[in-house]
């Protein structure tokens, strides 16, 4: 039997997610006089933003300009970027970063001036960083402090999104789960901003925190919103690969500052895969590492910084240096064992440049959204900038076009039972991660994708729509979203950017230089042309 709802809340803007996109959207709406409710399923600062190391890309340094940033972004996106969205990113981004600095965000400086570094596929030094390798943490801190000054922002931690609610033509709010007693809460809102982040935990190897289970994307699929480019997952080439250690991200900035990749025989290998060597695009580096590991009988690849000054390493990368020391590895004296891991989703809920989705009243920003900025492969350090820019724009759009609260009808509670046995859920969750890593991972082909879909569809049937428990809801979301990703990867019969098909190794511009667009209709996934 369905569980009775616990209570009903109301607000002008409901923000699902407390990373950079959600907080920036909340601040914008509250500043305009709206009551904002920020819902997050863990501590407010537990998000992919908090773990972003490398920095934030912005064309503010002397000799740089938005056109150069646009060019590099389009090149990395491998023909699939929406140039209008990229132009918004690189132009609006300058003011958004200046604004953050005015709000107290502290970036590293050299001789009193902002210090810019370079990462893969950038033609110029344009990456701002904080405390060396803790940029995301600093931006999350600055935005959290700013949000705390806004009386109209309420934060609701340890609540999980269940379903979007609509009257068929417009979103009316959402159902969320209070994890304290596993009861549903109705939230009526003039508008909903999806800012739930990414989905790295769908894969066995991931740099993402445990909260990154793709919930917002799954909620959007469930509600029939149009999704785009779900096959394009970026696998970060260098995650720490030590027994007993988490797959801690080893920032691209390490290679930007001169670290070498070496195979198990101690040889540098990147120049035979790409003329930019260690600074090649991430998908190239990930496949190269995978190939070298295979060619040397499964022995690991290492990232070598031992030729650099130890004091520079400790000062420039204090978080990476100290974390590796916790696991007995001094990166200034020993090469670091590394392996690729799922890191970032280029696709997601399809939006326009104002964050609007295909359902009126629902907006999306940050990693959950597909704005068209990243195309087939995200340019390094564009993600934090995207969250700032489009979180702001989505909130402004909602302010200008949302009807008064209560203009729509009521919505019934979700038809979900209470939960009892979680052993099956934990088993299925582990299996989903294995299936996605093996069948929908770095190198794909039709047989593996087909097998992945069959198994994921079976797990979807076993899980149903979940029940009123966070872990079960997450696992049901993972199965639904994983199936949609595998279907998208099967549909795109070419290789482009981060999507590599072993059976279709070349790009096909004539057929596929367009987004992959998908929608769930009558419990079936349908692809949209045009």
Task: Write the pLDDT tens digit of every residue in 355-400.
Answer: 999 999 999 999 999 999 999 999 989 999 999 999 999 999 999 9
Whether residue 37 is found in the same domain as residue 181: yes
- Does position 492 have pLDDT exceeding 80, yes or no? yes
Task: Write the pLDDT tens digit of every residue in 440-473.
Answer: 999 999 999 999 999 999 999 988 888 899 999 9
pLDDT at 377: 92
Task: Write the pLDDT tens digit of every residue in 100-153.
Answer: 999 999 999 998 999 998 877 788 999 998 886 678 888 999 999 999 999 999
- Does position 282 have pLDDT exceeding 90, yes or no? no
415 belongs to a structural domain: no
Give me the CATH number covering residue 430.
Answer: 1.20.58.100
pLDDT (mean) for 282-287: 87
Helix (H) or strand (E) holding 166: strand 159-166
Strands 369-370 and 348-350, sheet pairing:
parallel
**Whole-number Å distance between alpha carbons of 102 and 111:** 20
Whether residue 143 is found in the same domain as residue 254: no
pLDDT at 407: 66
pLDDT at 168: 86
Q: Check if the beta carbon of residue 494 is closer than 8 Å to that of residue 508.
A: yes
Task: Write the pLDDT tens digit of every residue in 325-351.
Answer: 999 999 999 999 999 999 999 999 999
257 belongs to a structural domain: yes
Whether residue 445 is found in the same domain as residue 513: yes
Whether residue 267 is found in the same domain as residue 282: yes
**Whole-number Å distance between alpha carbons of 80 and 94:** 23
pLDDT at 133: 61
Task: Write the pLDDT tens digit of every residue in 288-313.
Answer: 999 999 899 888 899 999 999 999 99
Residue 195 banded pLDDT, cuts 50, 70, 90: very high
Q: Could you give the residue ranges of the DSSP H alpha helices within 103-183?
A: 135-148
Among 316, 342, 368, give the residue marking a domain's end: 342
Task: Write the pLDDT tens digit of every residue in 220-251.
Answer: 999 999 999 999 999 989 999 988 888 888 88
pLDDT at 1: 32
Whether residue 191 is found in the same domain as residue 43: yes
The residues annotated with a catalytic role in the active site are: 282
pLDDT at 275: 92
410 belongs to a structural domain: no
Please, which residues have CB within 8 angstroms of residue 53's CB and are 6 or more apart in sequence?
133, 134, 135, 136, 249, 251, 253, 319, 320
pLDDT at 130: 87
Residue 2 banded pLDDT, cuts 50, 70, 90: very low
Task: Write the pLDDT tens digit of every residue in 41-63.
Answer: 987 655 545 444 568 999 999 88
Q: Check if the beta carbon of residue 163 is closer than 8 Å to that of residue 156.
A: no
**Whole-number Å distance between alpha carbons of 476 and 480:** 6
Residue 31 banded pLDDT, cuts 50, 70, 90: very high
Q: Lowest mean pLDDT: which of 187-191, 214-218, 430-434, 466-470?
A: 466-470
pTM for the whole structure = 0.92
pLDDT (mean) for 394-408: 90
Among 297, 319, 342, give the residue marking a domain's end: 342
pLDDT (mean) for 415-425: 81
pLDDT at 411: 78
Residue 84 banded pLDDT, cuts 50, 70, 90: very high
What 8-state DSSP symbol labels residue 170? B
Q: What's the sign of the alpha-carbon dihedral 279, 281, 286, 289? A: negative
168 belongs to a structural domain: yes
pLDDT at 46: 53
408 belongs to a structural domain: no
pLDDT at 331: 96
161 belongs to a structural domain: yes
- Does position 426 have pLDDT exceeding 70, yes or no? yes
- What SS3 state is found at 473? helix
pLDDT at 418: 77
Whether residue 278 is found in the same domain as residue 355: no
207 belongs to a structural domain: yes
Please, which residues have CB within 8 angstroms of residue 181's CB and are 6 or more apart in sequence?
6
Give me the CATH number covering residue 38.
Answer: 3.50.50.60
- Domains held by the chain: number: 3
pLDDT at 5: 65
User: What mean pLDDT, rounded, does the chain reach?
Assistant: 92
Higher pLDDT, 523 or 95: 95
Domain span at residue 35 reads 8-231+346-401
**Whole-number Å distance between alpha carbons of 142 and 17:** 16
């Amino acid at each position: 039997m369905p569980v009775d709802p616990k209570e009903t809340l109301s607000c002008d803007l409901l923000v699902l997610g407390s990373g950079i996109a959600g907080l920036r959207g909340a601040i914008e709406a509250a500043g305009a006089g709206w009551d904002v409710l920020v819902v997050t399923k863990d501590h407010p600062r537990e998000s992919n933003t908090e773990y972003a190391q490398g920095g934030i890309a912005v064309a503010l340094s002397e000799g740089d300009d938005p056109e150069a940033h646009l060019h590099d972004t389009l090149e990395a996106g491998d023909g699939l970027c929406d140039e209008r969205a990229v132009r918004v990113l690189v132009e609006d981004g300058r003011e958004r970063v200046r604004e953050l600095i005015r709000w107290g965000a502290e970036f590293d400086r050299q001789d009193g001036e902002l210090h810019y570094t370079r990462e893969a596929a950038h033609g110029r030094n344009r990456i701002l960083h904080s405390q060396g390798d803790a940029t995301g943490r600093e931006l999350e801190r600055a935005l959290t402090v700013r949000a705390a000054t806004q009386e109209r922002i309420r934060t609701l931690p340890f609540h999980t999104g269940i379903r979007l609610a609509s009257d068929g033509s417009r979103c009316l709010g959402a159902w969320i789960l209070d994890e304290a007693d596993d009861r549903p809460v109705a939230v009526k809102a003039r508008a909903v901003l999806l800012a739930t982040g990414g989905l790295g935990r769908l894969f066995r190897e991931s740099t993402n925190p445990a909260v990154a289970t793709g919930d917002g994307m799954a909620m959007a699929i469930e509600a029939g919103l149009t999704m785009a480019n779900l096959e394009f997952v970026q696998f970060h080439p260098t995650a720490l690969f030590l027994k007993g250690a988490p797959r801690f991200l080893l920032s691209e900035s390490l290679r930007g500052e001169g670290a070498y990749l070496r195979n198990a025989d101690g040889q540098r290998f990147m120049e035979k895969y790409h003329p930019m060597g260690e600074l090649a695009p991430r998908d190239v580096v990930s496949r190269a590492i995978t190939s070298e590991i295979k060619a040397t009988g499964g022995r690991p690849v290492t990232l070598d910084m031992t030729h650099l000054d130890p004091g520079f390493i400790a000062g420039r990368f204090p978080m990476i240096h100290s974390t590796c020391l916790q696991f007995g590895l001094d990166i200034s004296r020993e090469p670091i064992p590394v392996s690729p891991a799922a890191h970032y989703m280029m696709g997601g809920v399809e939006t326009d440049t104002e964050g609007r989705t295909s359902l009126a009243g629902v907006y999306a920003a940050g990693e959950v959204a597909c704005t068209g900025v990243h195309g087939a492969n995200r340019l390094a350090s564009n993600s934090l900038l995207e969250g700032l820019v489009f979180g702001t724009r989505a909130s402004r759009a909602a302010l200008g076009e949302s009807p008064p609260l209560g203009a729509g009808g009521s919505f019934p509670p979700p038809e979900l039972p209470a939960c009892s046995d979680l052993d099956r859920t934990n088993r299925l969750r582990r299996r989903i991660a294995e299936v996605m890593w093996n069948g929908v991972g770095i190198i794909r082909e039709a047989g593996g994708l087909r097998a992945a879909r069959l198994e994921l569809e079976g797990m979807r049937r076993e899980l149903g729509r979940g029940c009123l428990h966070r872990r079960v809801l997450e696992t049901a979301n993972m199965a639904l979203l994983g199936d949609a990703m595998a279907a998208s990867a099967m549909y795109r019969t070419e290789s482009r950017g981060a999507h590599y098909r072993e059976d279709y190794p070349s790009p096909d511009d004539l057929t596929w230089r367009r987004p992959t667009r998908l929608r769930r209709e009558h419990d079936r996934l349908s692809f949209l042309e045009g």
